[in-house]
């Protein structure tokens, strides 16, 4: 059963347990399920299994093939009903890159056979052992890629130790014997970094979308800055050995604070935990006694407490699952839960305790879950007329319109002294009015400030103007608000505006042509007039995001790699802090006005953060509406509870390996023509790559 009755952290609520090879696997699975686990990881073949020698016929008639397995040697599931609850693990002795020819041959053969058998059973995934020889996995990755190319749904998970010292065959002398030079060859640092092992393996399997990794946690953890890299990788589970736990004063297994923080980080990324290894902590018998007279609590206590044991009891357990053993003194009776006899029960309870301690996701984050790591093409509001449902989504952003109201309020207070409040009428123009939310915000600001305003609501979408007209009539604003059905770039205003209000920003600030629109509209702004917004700056940072790269790659064409996407980043890692890119000010005082831009950005990385993969660039913006009233998606200054804009993602055609301490140098252009605006981007360090989207061949915003 799930670790908790909550859905805000997705599949992280499901935990697995390792189970030794068992011919009666259904019984072992049932025991794990009764304990509370949701799936098991078990060997596909007996630990002593070795493939038969192909030269031996074992008494078969000529032409008769030798079957790879015998019934007692292999994981057998008579029904497909349970396959979703079983992950098969490949034999840990394999070494396809061994210098021993017999071991190499046997390893290649059994690896192919076991993956084929798991596919035949229809298992959800296969768990591969860690690369036996760090940075020497050519044959291993080749066999796995061959298997991946033949799969349609079953995933392959590679075990990767979080720290090199926890590698099964780690030897400090062996690791330190790697060559050290500046030619890009292996170095001691490279060989001792498990992320490097993973990156080499996934690169050689062509970033296949069915390949993921399982991080095996050890007693000691790498520095936090190295762990952060894994946020952008396809982590399928955390392998948590029982030996990394210590005992609390009641004998229950507990984790160090650093390990707890590690699990919390991955829980938030919706990563599952698999407990591996035998029970190493002895729980006193009386601690495992459950009384029906005890009341279950909705809040877990510390591991070993009555509250924790009650709350972590599987909710689908009925009295039929228990065996009464004795009456209690208070008239109740003591019952026995078969699941509590499972050797990993106390570890499952501890995971429940940690998971249930997680702070609930804010309502906004819950609403945005369906958009996390989901590619969306940016809007083209000048070229396309938006649908009513699209307007409706944006209008729910209370924070955004509260900030606009505050900006208009302050501008009105600054422009009109108290003594002139009743006699001065301020002309305010809302350009790109949509269905009218900025008109409503402006009218609210007028009421708050006690200043009189005359509003022109300018909108080119013929369907949206119907909504504005309805709002004007409903609110009785016919004498204050004038509806103008026109393109702001062509409309000839009858008056000059004191305040010009717009919401034309895109996820990168200027990517929905706010500069071009406002430059065209500023001709009817008074010389001392105010534009809201007054300025905006885009920001960009190099990003690791394995999932988004694969999503773009799956389109199998150049166009999608040369298109920027609106994305709610979730599983991602910024390789370096953001840097400012383009800034636009309004009204634009330049003569002549030129909205072409170019930026060269050099990102320096801390060598202690280790190597990383670069899949593209994440973009954000900061917007100054009026003075210190802002709207920001830039993480360091982000406006809380605002959801109108997700960040933007500029993908790279090929992933780029960034060595530890190496800088990333990016080039980006904003290009303008008479009928379109587009971006071009590329990198020149740590290696040079092609400039993307030359001449707007794959993506542009139409004027």
Does the annotation list 459 as a binding residue? yes
Predicted pLDDT of residue 3: 86
**Is residue 171 in some structural domain?**
no
**Boundary residue ending a domain (484, 503, 522):** 503
- The more confidently predicted of residues 549 and 342 is 549
Predicted pLDDT of residue 301: 53
The Cα 156–Cα 107 span in angstroms is: 17
503 catalytically annotated: yes
Structure tokens at 485: 């059905």
**Is residue 286 in some structural domain?**
no
**Boundary residue ending a domain (251, 276, 301):** 276
Predicted pLDDT of residue 434: 93
Q: What average pLDDT does the segment 579-596 reach?
A: 96
Which residues does 407 contact at the CB level (< 8 Å), separation at least 6?
532, 533, 625, 626, 629
Q: Which of 340, 503, 516, 665 is catalytic?
A: 503
Percent of the chain with pLDDT over 70: 87
246: part of which helix (H) or strand (E)?
Answer: strand 246-247
**Burial bucket for residue 419 (CB in 10 Å: 0-12, 13-18, 19+):** exposed
Q: Is the dihedral of CA 362, 366, 372, 375 positive or negative?
A: negative
Which range has the worst mean pLDDT, 101-115, 175-189, 388-402?
175-189
126: part of which helix (H) or strand (E)?
Answer: strand 125-128
512 catalytically annotated: yes
CATH number reported for the structural domain that contains residue 154 in this entry: 3.20.20.150
Do 495 and 420 belong together in one domain?
Answer: yes
Nearest to 245 by CA among 151, 350, 333: 350
Read off the DSSP letter of residue 379. P
580: part of which helix (H) or strand (E)?
Answer: strand 579-585
Do 73 and 115 belong together in one domain?
Answer: yes
Q: What average pLDDT does the segment 378-386 reach?
A: 79
| Tens digit of each residue's pLDDT (9 = 90 or more) over 479-524 | 999 999 998 888 999 999 999 999 999 999 999 999 999 999 999 9
Computed over every residue of the chain, the mean pLDDT equals 88
Predicted pLDDT of residue 24: 86
Do 541 and 460 belong together in one domain?
Answer: no
**Burial bucket for residue 293 (CB in 10 Å: 0-12, 13-18, 19+):** exposed
- The CB-side HSE value for 396 (13 A sphere, CA atoms) comes to 9
Do 485 and 603 belong together in one domain?
Answer: no
CATH number reported for the structural domain that contains residue 407 in this entry: 3.40.50.150
Do 476 and 573 belong together in one domain?
Answer: no
| Tens digit of each residue's pLDDT (9 = 90 or more) over 250-260 | 889 999 999 99
Which range has the worst mean pLDDT, 30-39, 62-71, 386-395?
62-71
316 pLDDT higher than 50: no
Count of domains for the chain: 3
Pair 273, 237: CB distance under 8 Å: yes
The Cα 445–Cα 500 span in angstroms is: 14
Does the annotation list 70 as a binding residue? no
Geometric angle at alpha carbon 569, from 678 and 567, rounded to 5°: 35
Do 553 and 603 belong together in one domain?
Answer: yes
Q: What average pLDDT does the segment 601-618 reach?
A: 97
Does the annotation list 401 as a binding residue? yes
Does the annotation list 487 as a binding residue? yes
Do 487 and 543 belong together in one domain?
Answer: no
618 pLDDT higher than 80: yes
Does the annotation list 104 as a binding residue? no
Do 35 and 137 belong together in one domain?
Answer: yes
Pair 458, 484: CB distance under 8 Å: yes
299 C-beta neighbours (distance < 10 Å), count: 9
**Is residue 351 in some structural domain?**
no
Q: What average pLDDT does the segment 403-424 reach?
A: 96
Pair 576, 603: CB distance under 8 Å: yes
Do 597 and 644 belong together in one domain?
Answer: yes
Nearest to 570 by CA among 9, 5, 157, 2: 9
Predicted pLDDT of residue 173: 44
Do 491 and 557 belong together in one domain?
Answer: no
Do 49 and 142 belong together in one domain?
Answer: yes
Task: Provide the domain limits for residue 403.
Answer: 388-503
| Tens digit of each residue's pLDDT (9 = 90 or more) over 325-358 | 445 445 555 555 666 778 999 999 999 999 999 9
Angle between helices 257-268 and 345-357 (to 10 degrees): 70
278 pLDDT higher than 90: yes
Does the annotation list 347 as a binding residue? no
Coil, strand or helix at 471: helix
Sort strands 452-459 and 425-431 into parallel, antiparallel or unpaired: parallel
Q: Which of 406, 512, 516, 680 is catalytic?
A: 512
Coil, strand or helix at 680: strand
The Cα 428–Cα 445 span in angstroms is: 12
**Is residue 372 in some structural domain?**
no
Do 609 and 494 belong together in one domain?
Answer: no
Read off the DSSP letter of residue 268. H
Structure tokens at 385: 């007329």
Pair 166, 216: CB distance under 8 Å: yes
188 pLDDT higher than 60: no
**Is residue 411 in some structural domain?**
yes
CATH number reported for the structural domain that contains residue 597 in this entry: 2.70.160.11
**Is residue 497 in some structural domain?**
yes
**Is residue 204 in some structural domain?**
yes
**Is residue 329 in some structural domain?**
no
Nearest to 517 by CA among 439, 599, 460: 460
**Boundary residue ending a domain (236, 254, 276):** 276
Q: Report phi then psi at 400, rounded to 5.
A: -60, -50
Q: How many residues are given for the chain?
A: 703
């Amino acid at each position: 059963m799930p670790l908790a009755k909550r859905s805000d952290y997705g599949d992280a609520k499901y935990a697995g347990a390792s189970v030794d090879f068992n011919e009666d696997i259904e019984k072992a699975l049932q025991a794990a399920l009764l304990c509370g686990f949701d799936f098991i990881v078990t060997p596909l073949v007996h630990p002593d299994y070795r493939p038969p020698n192909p030269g031996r016929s074992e008494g078969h008639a000529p032409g008769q093939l030798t079957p790879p397995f015998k019934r007692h040697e292999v994981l057998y599931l008579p029904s497909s009903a349970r396959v979703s609850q079983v992950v098969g693990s490949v034999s840990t002795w394999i070494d396809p890159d061994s210098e021993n020819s017999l071991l190499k041959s046997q390893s290649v053969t059994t690896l192919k056979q076991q993956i084929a058998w798991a596919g035949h059973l229809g298992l959800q995934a296969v768990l591969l052992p860690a690369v036996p020889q760090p940075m020497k996995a050519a044959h291993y990755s080749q066999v796995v890629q061959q298997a991946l190319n033949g799969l349609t749904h079953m995933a392959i998970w590679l075990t990767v130790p979080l720290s090199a010292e926890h590698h099964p065959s780690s030897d400090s002398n062996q690791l330190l014997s790697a060559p050290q030079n500046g030619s890009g060859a292996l170095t001691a640092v490279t060989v001792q970094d498990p992320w490097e092992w993973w990156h080499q393996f996934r690169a050689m399997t062509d970033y296949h979308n069915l390949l993921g990794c399982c991080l095996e946690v050890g007693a000691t953890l790498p520095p936090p800055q190295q762990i952060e890299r894994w946020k952008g990788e396809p982590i399928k589970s955390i392998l948590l050995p029982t030996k990394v736990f210590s005992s609390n004063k009641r004998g229950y297994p507990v984790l160090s604070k650093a390990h707890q923080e590690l699990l919390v980080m991955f829980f938030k990324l919706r990563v599952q935990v698999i407990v591996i290894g035998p029970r190493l902590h002895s729980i006193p018998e009386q601690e495992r006694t459950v009384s029906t007279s005890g009341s279950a609590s909705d809040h877990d206590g510390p591991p070993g407490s009555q509250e924790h044991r009650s709350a972590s009891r599987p909710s689908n357990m009925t009295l039929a699952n228990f065996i009464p053993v004795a009456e209690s003194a208070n008239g109740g009776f003591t019952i026995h839960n078969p699941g509590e006899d499972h050797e990993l029960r106390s570890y499952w309870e501890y995971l429940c305790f940690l998971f249930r301690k997680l702070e609930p996701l804010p309502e906004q984050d819950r609403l945005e879950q369906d958009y996390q790591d989901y590619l969306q093409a940016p809007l083209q509001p000048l070229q396309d007329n938006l649908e009513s449902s699209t307007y409706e989504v944006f209008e729910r952003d209370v924070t955004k319109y509260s900030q606009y109201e505050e900006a208009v309020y302050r501008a009105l207070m600054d422009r009109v002294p108290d003594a002139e409040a009743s006699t001065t009428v301020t002309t305010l123009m809302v350009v790109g009015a949509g269905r009218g939310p900025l008109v409503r915000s402006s009218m609210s600001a007028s009421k708050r400030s006690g200043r009189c305003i005359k509003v022109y609501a300018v909108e080119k979408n013929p369907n949206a103007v119907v909504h504005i007209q309805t709002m004007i009539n409903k609110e009785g604003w016919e004498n204050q608000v004038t509806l103008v059905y026109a393109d702001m770039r062509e409309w000839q205003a009858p008056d000059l505006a004191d305040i010009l209000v717009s919401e034309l920003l895109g996820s990168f600030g200027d990517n929905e042509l706010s500069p071009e629109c406002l430059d065209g509209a500023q001709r009817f702004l008074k010389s001392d007039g105010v534009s809201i917004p007054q300025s905006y700056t885009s920001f960009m940072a190099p990003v690791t995001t394995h999932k988004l790269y694969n999503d773009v790659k799956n389109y199998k064409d150049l166009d999608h790699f040369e298109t920027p996407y609106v994305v709610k980043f979730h599983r991602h890692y910024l390789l370096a802090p953001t840097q400012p890119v383009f800034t636009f000010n309004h009204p634009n005082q330049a003569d002549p006005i030129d909205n072409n831009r170019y930026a060269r950005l050099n990102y320096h990385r801390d060598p202690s953060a280790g190597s990383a993969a670069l899949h593209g660039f994440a973009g954000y913006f900061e917007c100054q509406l009026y003075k210190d009233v802002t709207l920001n998606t830039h993480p360091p200054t982000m406006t809380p509870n605002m959801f109108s804009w997700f960040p933007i993602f500029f993908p790279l055609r090929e992933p780029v390996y960034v060595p530890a301490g190496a800088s990333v140098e990016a080039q980006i252009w904003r290009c303008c023509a008479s009928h379109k605006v587009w971006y071009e981007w590329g990198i020149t360090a740590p290696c040079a790559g092609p400039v993307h989207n030359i001449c707007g061949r794959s993506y542009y915003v139409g004027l």
